[in-house]
Amino acid sequence: MNKKAQSSLDIIRIGFIRFALIVIALIFVILVISILVVEDVGVEQLNNQLFIERSLSSADCLAFSEEGRVYSNIIDLSRFEPSTLQACMDAGDKKAPAAKIAMTNLDDPTRNNLLYYNEEEFIKWDPFTFDENVYLKTIKQRYVLIHSGDKLMRGKIEFEVISPVE
């Protein structure tokens, strides 16, 4: 074999080796990306968080409002009732979350309040929250101010929100 044929054969061999290495590298990159991207987006967690935020920030819910201004994270004690929360959320569908909201008055520990949203479902679903494939439970605590009459008191509110997993 002459020199030209030998050098052409070497170029073809090197080309095949480069091509094989590029294919292996691409397969490796695709595998790594697919492993990292295959993450289930849980809508239930988002729904639970939205329930909490709406409860604390909406004028229709538990937030204190005065002259058209809403004060988020200030709880109006007169609105801390099941009927207010039911009217505020009014999901209308069966996939609505269920929640238990416990408010502790830090200035007067004898004045604690408990509120349920979809109480029957909460009591029914709570024992099954150990399996996140069936029901997802979110527990959040926030320090808030409690508005009662003309007084503001320090308080802590704890949300336990349960949603069925779709």
Which pLDDT tens digit goes with each residue over 120-144? Answer: 888 998 888 888 778 889 999 999 9
- Find the range with the poorest average confidence among 10-19, 45-54, 117-126: 10-19
Q: Would you kindly state where each structural domain of the chain is located, as residue ranges? A: 43-164
Average pLDDT on 103-123 reads: 88
Rounded CA-CA distance 21/14 in Å is 11
Mean of pLDDT values over 104-110: 86
In whole angstroms, what is the distance from residue 84 CA to residue 8 CA?
Answer: 83
Mean pLDDT of 90-110: 81
Residue 58 has pLDDT above 70, yes or no: yes
